[in-house]
Structure 1
Amino acid sequence: MSEILARLAAVEEENRQLRQEVEALRRDHADHRETVGREIASDRRRITALETPAPALREKTAEDHVNRLFSEMRRLNIRQTTAKDAARLLGVSKPLIDKLKPYLATDPRFLILRDPHHKQRHLIRLAGT
């Protein structure tokens, strides 16, 4: 009988240790889920920021750039230029000039033409010349 009681005590002790281990695993799992949840939320914020389009060019800013381009081309007696060279004239980036193209196309002082020597390039030409 004492052998059975000793064995029962050993089984109960093993059961208690297993319960402690299970509880520790549950706490670790909860911590891990919380950490993963924060990482997912952070990733979603970063992805949303990347997917958000760049703000459109303000009309006033675009007008200022177009006017400045016109005056620089007149001052330097340049009849036509590429977007890359226009960016250099204004001291801005080429993507900004690409955003200006719709404003240049509607401005009667400019013509936007395809470059006959290059498939993908456009030329910005002064209309009066």
Structure 2
Amino acid sequence: MIEEQKMITINADELISQTEKMKNCGHRMVQICCAKIGETIEVNYSFDKDYSFTNFKVILPLNNLTIDSVSGIYMQALLYENEMHDLFGINVKNMAIDYKGTFYRTAVKTPFNTQTDKA
């Protein structure tokens, strides 16, 4: 039997406060992933507590790919956030450790959101 997972859409400016609530309630961060969908990038943050998943969905328009880092709350998020920057071109503000575009070595800058896709 597949358990129901909560999917909650939040605004980018709610991310820090909502993530702090998850941490304070004892949730662990499971993953962060991105997908380019049309003229947006969808960023999903997944949390688990007692085998129950809660997911936050943040939708960023291609003309404003900026989001706050949650690495001050969950340190391991810095790996996902550097990946988001390098592969999708998302500007993640205030990362605990910022590899400044060198986390991945790619032949194409932001391969999952290339300049031709942005036009």
TM-score by structure 1 length? 0.24
In our comparison, the structure showing a higher alpha carbon Rg is 1
**Is the strand fraction higher in 1 or 2?**
2
Q: Relative contact order, CA 8 A, sep 6+: which one is greater?
A: 2
TM-score by structure 2 length? 0.25
